[in-house]
Amino acid sequence: MTKNIILDNINNPEVLEASYQSSPSEFIGDFKQALETHNESETLKVWHARLNYGNSTTNPRTNPRTNMPIGILIVLCLIAGFIAKLPTFFHIDDNWYFPRFIPLAVIGTVIFYFLNMMNSQKIRKVVAGGLLACTVYAVLLPNNTSSASIAMALIHLPLLLLSLLAVSFMSDKWESVQSRLSFIKYIGEVGIYSVLILLGGMVLTGITLGLFSLINLSIEEWYVEYIVVLGLVSTPLVATYLFDAIQKRQSKFSIILSNVFSPLFLVTILVYLIAAIYQGESPYSNRAFLIIFNGLLVVILAITIFSISGRERKNTTHITDFINMALIGATLMVNIVALSAIIFRWAEYGVTLNRVVVTGANLLIFIHLALLLKQYIKQVWYNADPLELEVTITKYLPVYSVWSVIVVVVLPIVFQYK
C-alpha cells in the first residue's frame, strides 16, 4: 500500500469514482502525487483530462458537496448578527456576554454551514452535540472577572470551537492527512479573505457615512451599531462561502504569502534577537518581552505549517525548505529561552494558572517544531518520503484540541474557578 488511494486502486475505476465523489479535494491531492510518479498511466491521463476539462475553477463538479443556497447563507449571517446584538435587546451585561457568545456566533454559524453539507449523520450529531455542550458550558461558567482560570477558559474556547469546525469541515474524512491539510489551507484562505472583506467594508462604511452626511442625515450611530456589527460577525462565514462555493476550495493566497513571509520572518527574528541582546532586554525580568516571545512562536508555527502544506510532494529540495528549516531552528532557540524564563518565574514567584497554561502551550509548540525539524532533516538529507512531513503536521493537530479541552474544562475545576 502506498497511502495513495489512486495508486492503490488505479485498476479499479469504481473505487476511484467513489473516492472522487466523496472527497474531491482529497482526491485531487492524491491525484497530483500519483501523476508525478506515474505520468505514463492511461488511467491518470483520462482523469487529468476530466479534472482539467474547461476550467477546473468554474467546473461545478470540482466540489459537488457545495449546495449552500445564498438564502441560507444570508439567514446564517442574520443569526450571527442577532446573537451579537442580544445584549442590546435584552439588557444583558456586555462583559459577561461577549467573551462567551461572540466566538459561538462567529464560529458556530460557520460550523452550521458545513453541517448543512455533511454526509455522515454520525459526525453531524457529534459536532452538533459538541457545539451545544460548548454553549451550555459558556452559560454555566461562573461570572468572575477576577478569575484567571475563567479568563483562560474563555480565551481557549474559540480554539475548542475550531476543533469542532475542523471535524465539520472534514466530515468522515477527519483522519485523512489530505483532509487535515485541506482544513489548514482553508483556515489560511479564510483569514486572508476575511481581511480583504473587512478592508472593503471599511471603505464602504466611509463612503456610506460620507454620502449621507452630504444630505444632512446622521446615521453613524445606527450604522455602526447594526450594519458594522453584522458585517464583523458574518465576515468569516462570507469568506467561507467565497472559498467553498466560488473558489471551489482551491487555495490561492495563504501558501504564496507564507512562502513570501518565511524569509522575512527569519530575518526579523534573527535581527530581533540580536537587538534584544544588545539592548539588554531579558524575558527573565521583563514580562511583556516574554509575552512577545510567545506570540512570535504562534505566528512562526502558523507560517511554517502553511508553507509546508503547500509544498509539492517531491524528493527535490527547494530554497524554501532551507528557509523553513532555519526558521524552525531559530524559533526553537526562542522557545528554549521562553521556557527557561517561565521555569525561572515558577521558581521565583510560584505556581499560578497563567504560568501552567503558558508552560503547556510552549511545550506543545516546542515538541511540534522539534518534530517538524527532525522530519525536515530526514527529507532534505536522507530523501525521506515527502508525505511524512505532512503526517508530522497533521497527526499532531489533535494534541492542540486536547489541550484546549484541558484549559477550558479541567483547569478551572482544578483551580476552583479562581
Q: Which three cell numbers stand for residue 354?
A: 497563567
Which regions of the chain are under pLDDT 50? 54-66
- Contact of 328 with 373, CB cutoff 8 Å: yes
**What is the rounded CA–CA span in Å between residue 196 and residue 104?**
23
pTM for the whole structure: 0.79
Strand, helix or coil for residue 108? helix
Cα torsion through 62, 66, 70, 72, rounded to 10: 180
Number of neighbouring beta carbons within 10 Å of residue 265:
21
Report how far residue 9's alpha carbon sits from residue 19's, in angstroms, rounded to the nearest whole number: 10
Residue whose cell numbers read 489530505 = 178
Cα–Cα dist 294/339, whole Å:
10
Please give the pLDDT value at position 61.
37
C-alpha cell read off for 56: 477546473
- What does the pLDDT look like over 362-373, one tens digit per residue? 899 889 989 988
- DSSP, collapsed to helix, strand or coil, labels residue 9 as coil
Do residues 47 and 16 lie in contact, with contact meaning Cβ atoms separated by under 8 Å?
A: yes
Sequence-distant (6+) residues with CB within 8 A of 117 are 65, 66, 67, 68
pLDDT value, residue 151: 92
Per residue in 118-130, pLDDT (tens digit) is: 777 889 999 999 9
Is the Cα dihedral 49, 54, 56, 59 positive or negative? negative
Q: Which residues 6+ apart lie within 8 Å of 1 measured at CB?
A: 8
Q: Scanning the structure block, which residue is given the C-alpha cell 460620507? A: 210
How far is 372 from 327, CA to CA, in rounded Å? 11
Rounded CA-CA distance 204/200 in Å is 6
C-beta pairs of 30-34 under 8 Å, 24+ apart in sequence: 30/4, 30/5, 30/6, 30/178, 31/6, 32/312, 32/313, 33/4, 33/6, 33/313, 33/387, 34/4, 34/6, 34/7, 34/10
Q: What is the pLDDT of residue 193?
A: 93
State how far the Cα of 309 lies from the Cα of 390, in Å rounded to an integer.
Answer: 7
Angle at 188 between CA 198 and CA 207, to 5 degrees: 10
Name the DSSP class of 173.
G
Query: For residue 126, which of 67, 172, 76 has the smallest C-alpha distance?
Result: 172
Q: What is the pLDDT of residue 62?
A: 37
> What confidence score (pLDDT) does residue 156 get?
93
Angle at 391 between CA 339 and CA 114, to 5 degrees: 100
H helices of 219-286, in order, are 220-222, 229-241, 254-279
The pLDDT value given to residue 49:
80
> From CA 124, how far away is CA 39, in angstroms rounded?
38
Collapsing DSSP to helix, strand or coil, 66 comes out as coil
Q: How far apart are CA 408 and CA 401, in angstroms?
A: 11
Q: How far apart are CA 332 and CA 314, in angstroms?
A: 26
